Amino acid sequence: MEKISRYDECKNCKHKFIASFVETNLNNGEKEVYFGCVKCGIDESILRIIDYADLTPEEQDEVNYLRSEDMYHRDDVTFDEDTVCHLPLAMAIYSRIKETKPDLDEETTFKYFKRALAGMRKSNNEARKVGRIRRLSLENKEVLFTPKEVTIDIE
Ligand SMILES: [Zn+2]
């Protein structure tokens, strides 16, 4: 069997995009959003690599694909704050859902995926909240142990 090129692999995929990388332009404060597909793993943020020669042949295929007509004027993709995720992680979650629920169609799988992502984000936030509460009480202790008056000698 002939190995399908990375270019065709991407071309044949009915992408399901998430925002894989968000960068803030320091000059105008605008957000630059890069999208990645949870199915084939094509990731726009590869376009940030300036030197084409530094890329592997597969990555060059990806860049060529991203610069092809297919990828221009996509109106199916909107920036969704809820789906910003590191692409390899997103892909792992997506394929895990496909594995456990193989009979679902792609739309539904993607819905499950978004829900899983939102759930993860929520529990992360909660863990962070607990961490912050811990830190705050630690800070309070520090306050308790700090002498009430500190005299500083100037001169
Ligand atoms: Zn894809």
**Which residues have their alpha-adjacent CB atom under 5 A from ion ligand 1?**
13, 15, 37, 39-40
Residue 17 inside a domain? The answer is yes
Residue 153 inside a domain? The answer is no
- Distance in Å, CA 122 to ligand 1 centroid: 27
If one counts the domains in the chain, the total is: 1
- Distance in Å, CA 28 to ligand 1 centroid: 31
Q: What is the CA radius of gyration of the chain?
A: 23
Residue 154 inside a domain? The answer is no
Residue 145 inside a domain? The answer is no
Residue 152 inside a domain? The answer is no
Q: What's the burial of 90, exposed, middle or buried (CB within 10 Å: 0-12/13-18/19+)?
A: buried
Residue 23 belongs to what domain range? 6-128
Residue-wise pLDDT for 73-92, tens only, equals 565 666 777 778 899 999 99
- Distance in Å, CA 115 to ligand 1 centroid: 20
Angle at 35 (CA atoms; ends 31, 40), nearest 5 degrees = 170
Residue-wise pLDDT for 22-58, tens only, equals 888 888 988 888 899 999 999 998 988 878 888 999 9
Query: Does the pTM of the predicted model rise above 0.75?
Result: no
Residue-wise pLDDT for 127-152, tens only, equals 777 776 676 665 554 444 444 444 44
Residue 138 inside a domain? The answer is no
- Distance in Å, CA 127 to ligand 1 centroid: 32
